[in-house]
């Protein structure tokens, strides 16, 4: 299974935020989890949102003061993302590109690479490939949203699916434990630093990782000093 390249930004946004109030609440709890993960991190100035879709999270990057680069494989999604940036009056740009080879579309890198509503479309091996690609495009931090069985909602969803499939609770590797996420990160050269559950009634968790080694020199050469990661 893979994530489809989505063509209809309006439809995508309508399904995410079914009503104004539901949309507001979902946005608030999601933002709270992201903010918890990013609290007090040093030197964050740029974020690459990959895949950005229609730029659903751009308002948050603006609030946090990060210049944004949105990357997606869908031109219609990027069209909406670009309109959003203009409406927000926020510095940034969008680029057509593949999250699995992110550095190709982001050779200069970003302080934070964020990947939301995407990783759980893939099996473990592909997720590790994805993480390695995100890490290669990041100067230091990677933020990934996962599905987890470690919330009441996640456990319930997974139990129901397992009953339908006649499988056991842990057979579906798309619902991860925090320990499993940490192990995947390690395989991709990342170390899990923090995680933030969206809430009891969500099956999602944000996981923040840091690169375990200094990045290979990026092109064009960056003019900042990279702090080595503490182990
Ligand atoms: C579920 S949306 C998530 C968008 C956004 N991160 C959000 O939270 O709303 C997934 C997006 O991934 C894009 N996509 C699918 N495969 C991709 C790939 N290999 N590289 C980059 N974007 C991809 C789709 O076009 C779609 O816009």
- What does the pLDDT look like over 76-100, one tens digit per residue? 999 999 999 999 999 999 999 999 9
What mean pLDDT comes out for the span 67-81? 98
Bridge-partner residues for 67, per DSSP? 46
- What does the pLDDT look like over 146-193, one tens digit per residue? 999 888 888 888 888 888 888 777 766 688 889 999 999 999 999 999
CATH class of the domain whose range is 9-13+22-147+174-211: alpha beta
Rounded distance between C-alpha atoms, residue 65 and residue 114, angstroms:
15
pLDDT of the residue at 214 = 58
Which atom of ligand 1 is the closest one to the Cα of 98? 20
Which atom of ligand 1 is the closest one to the Cα of 7? 25
Q: What share of residues in the chain are helix, strand, coil (percent, to 5)?
A: 40, 20, 35
- For residue 163, count CB atoms less than 10 angstroms from its CB and return exposed for 0-12, middle for 13-18, buried for 19 or more: exposed
- For residue 13, count CB atoms less than 10 angstroms from its CB and return exposed for 0-12, middle for 13-18, buried for 19 or more: middle
Q: Which of the two residues, 140 and 212, has the higher pLDDT score?
A: 140
Q: With bands split at pLDDT 50, 70 and 90, how would you rate the model's confidence at 106?
A: very high
Q: Which helix (H) or strand (E) holds 122?
A: none
Ligand 1 pocket, CB under 6 A: 3, 5-6, 51-53, 56-57, 72-74, 77, 98-100, 116-118
What is the CA(163)–ligand 1 centre distance, in A? 29
* Ramachandran angles phi, psi of 72, nearest 5°: -155, 160
Contact 75, 96 (CB under 8 A): yes
Please identify which residue in the block is written with the tokens 């995407």.
118
pLDDT of the residue at 172 = 67
The beta strands (E) that lie in the chain are given as 46-49, 67-72, 92-96, 110-115, 138-148, 175-176, 190-197, 204-211
12-26, 114-128, 217-231 — which is least confidently predicted? Answer: 217-231
Does residue 54 carry a pLDDT above 70? Answer: yes
What mean pLDDT comes out for the span 48-75? 97
CA 34, 37, 40, 43 dihedral sign is negative
What is the CA(169)–ligand 1 centre distance, in A? 27
pLDDT of the residue at 190 = 97
pLDDT of the residue at 217 = 46
105-109, 137-141, 200-204 — which is least confidently predicted? Answer: 200-204
User: What is the CB neighbour count within 10 angstroms for residue 8?
Assistant: 14
pLDDT of the residue at 221 = 31
What is the CA(231)–ligand 1 centre distance, in A? 32
Contact 78, 97 (CB under 8 A): no
Which residue, by CA, sits nearest to atom 1 of ligand 1?
Answer: 117
Does residue 219 carry a pLDDT above 70? Answer: no
Indicate the top mutation candidate among 73, 115, 129 to test ligand 1's pocket, ranked by most ligand atoms within 8 A of CB.
73
Which atom of ligand 1 is the closest one to the Cα of 4? 15
Indicate the top mutation candidate among 1, 3, 131, 202 to test ligand 1's pocket, ranked by most ligand atoms within 8 A of CB.
3
pLDDT of the residue at 138 = 97
What mean pLDDT comes out for the span 62-71? 97
What mean pLDDT comes out for the span 126-139? 97
Contact 7, 76 (CB under 8 A): yes
Q: With bands split at pLDDT 50, 70 and 90, how would you rate the model's confidence at 222?
A: very low
pLDDT of the residue at 159 = 84
- What does the pLDDT look like over 111-127, one tens digit per residue? 999 999 999 999 999 99
């Amino acid at each position: 299974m893979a994530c489809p390249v989505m063509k209809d930004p309006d439809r995508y946004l309508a399904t995410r935020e079914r009503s104004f109030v539901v949309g507001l609440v979902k946005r608030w709890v999601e933002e709270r989890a992201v903010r918890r993960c990013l609290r007090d991190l040093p030197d964050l100035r740029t974020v690459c949102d990959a895949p950005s879709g229609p730029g659903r999270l751009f308002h948050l990057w603006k609030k946090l003061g990060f210049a944004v680069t949105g990357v997606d494989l869908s031109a219609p999604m990027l069209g909406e993302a670009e309109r959003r940036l203009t409406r927000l009056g926020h510095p940034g740009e969008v680029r057509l590109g593949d999250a699995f080879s992110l550095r190709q579309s982001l050779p200069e890198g970003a302080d934070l690479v964020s990947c939301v509503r995407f990783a759980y479309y893939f099996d473990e091996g592909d997720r590790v490939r994805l993480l390695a690609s995100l890490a290669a495009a990041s100067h230091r931090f990677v933020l990934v949203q996962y599905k987890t069985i470690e919330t009441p909602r996640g456990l319930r969803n997974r139990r129901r699916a397992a009953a339908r499939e006649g499988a056991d609770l842990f057979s579906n590797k798309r619902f991860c434990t925090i320990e499993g996420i940490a192990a995947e990160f390690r395989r991709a050269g990342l170390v899990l630093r923090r995680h933030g559950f969206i809430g009891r009634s969500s099956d999602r968790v944000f996981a923040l990782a840091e690169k375990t080694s200094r990045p290979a020199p990026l092109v064009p050469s960056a003019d900042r000093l990279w702090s080595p990661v503490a182990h």
